[in-house]
Amino acid sequence: MSLDPKIAARLKRNGDGLVPAIVQQHDSGEVLMLAWMDDEALHRTLTTGRATYWSRSRGAYWVKGDTSGHVQHVKAVSLDCDGDTVLLKVDQVGAACHTGDHTCFDADTLEVTITP
C-alpha cells in the first residue's frame, strides 16, 4: 500500500522529498504546530486517521502521541493551490508542543513595531 497516485502526482516535494504540514485544531482554529511529511507519512495519515510525520531530526516516521499520549485524530486534510503544503485539521489530545505548551507558537511572540 502506498499513497494514491492521483495525490502523489499533485505533491510538490522539497529536495528531501518532504512537504510541510500545518496542523490546526479543527474546532478552535488554533494553529498547533508545523511538521513534515513524505508520501508514506501522508498515506498513513489518510488511512489511519492518526497524524503521522517524518521526523527530520530522528530520520524516522513519527506517529504523533505514540510516546507522549498527545495523539492527533485527523478530521480533514487538504493540499494547497500548488501542492507543496498540507493542512491537517485535527482533534488534539493534550498539549501539541513537546514543551508542554498547548501550541508550539505560545511561548515566543515577536513585537510588531511599525516604524514610519
Interaction between residue 93 and its own copies (CB under 8 A): no
Q: Min. distance of Cβ 69 from its own copies in angstroms?
A: 18
Using the rule CB under 8 A, which residue among 13, 38, 40, 46 binds its own copies? 46
Q: Min. distance of Cβ 73 from its own copies in angstroms?
A: 10
Interaction between residue 29 and its own copies (CB under 8 A): yes
Are 93 and 69 in contact by the 8 Å Cβ rule? The answer is: yes
**Can you tell me which residue has the cell 495519515?**
45
Are 18 and 36 in contact by the 8 Å Cβ rule? The answer is: yes
Find the angle CA(63)-CA(65)-CA(69) to the nearest 5 degrees: 155
Using the rule CB under 8 A, which residue among 17, 34, 55, 94 binds its own copies? 34
Q: What are the residues binding its own copies (CB under 8 A)?
A: 7, 10, 15, 20, 22, 24, 28-31, 33-34, 45-49, 74-83, 85, 87, 97-99, 101, 104-115
